[in-house]
């Protein structure tokens, strides 16, 4: 029983390692997409973590910035949607003015 249990645990460990490696690669790709890969502000330890197969420290920074952006966006969206008719009138008037200027 213990041998079987050991094989099961080893398989689970391997699956977890594979999943972790995929997560590391996806986080690197995300940081690269957002222009944060190999940033000058990254500490040497953070750069070593990126190379060493660990989750990049900059990922936490990116996620914090996304959280802040979403808070601001949500607040703005709630303000706009609460008075949507006013915004529709404003932009309709702006479009008419732009058309008349051409």
Please tell me the distance from the alpha carbon of residue 30 to that of residue 54, in angstroms, as a whole number: 14
Q: What is the pLDDT of residue 100?
A: 77
Q: What is the pLDDT of residue 99?
A: 76
Please tell me the distance from the alpha carbon of residue 47 to that of residue 39, in angstroms, as a whole number: 9
Please tell me the distance from the alpha carbon of residue 67 to that of residue 77, in angstroms, as a whole number: 15
Please tell me the distance from the alpha carbon of residue 45 to that of residue 58, in angstroms, as a whole number: 11
Q: What is the pLDDT of residue 45?
A: 53
Selection from 22, 26, 24, 30 nearest residue 49 by Cα:
24
Please tell me the distance from the alpha carbon of residue 88 to that of residue 76, in angstroms, as a whole number: 15
Q: What is the pLDDT of residue 13?
A: 96
Per-residue pLDDT of the chain (102 residues; tens, 9 = 90+): 999 999 999 999 999 999 999 998 998 888 888 888 654 444 555 444 444 567 788 888 888 999 999 999 999 999 988 988 888 888 888 877 777 777
Contact of 55 with 24, CB cutoff 8 Å? yes
Q: What is the pLDDT of residue 30?
A: 87
């Amino acid at each position: 029983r213990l041998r079987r249990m050991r094989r099961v645990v080893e398989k689970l460990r391997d699956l977890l390692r594979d999943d972790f490696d995929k997560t590391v690669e996806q986080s690197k790709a995300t940081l690269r997409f957002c222009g944060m890969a190999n940033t000058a502000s990254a500490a040497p330890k953070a750069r070593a973590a990126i190379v060493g197969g660990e989750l990049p420290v900059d990922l936490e920074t990116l996620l914090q910035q996304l959280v802040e952006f979403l808070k601001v966006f949500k607040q703005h969206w709630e303000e706009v949607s609460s008075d949507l008719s006013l915004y529709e009138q404003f932009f309709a008037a702006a479009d008419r003015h732009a058309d008349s200027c051409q």
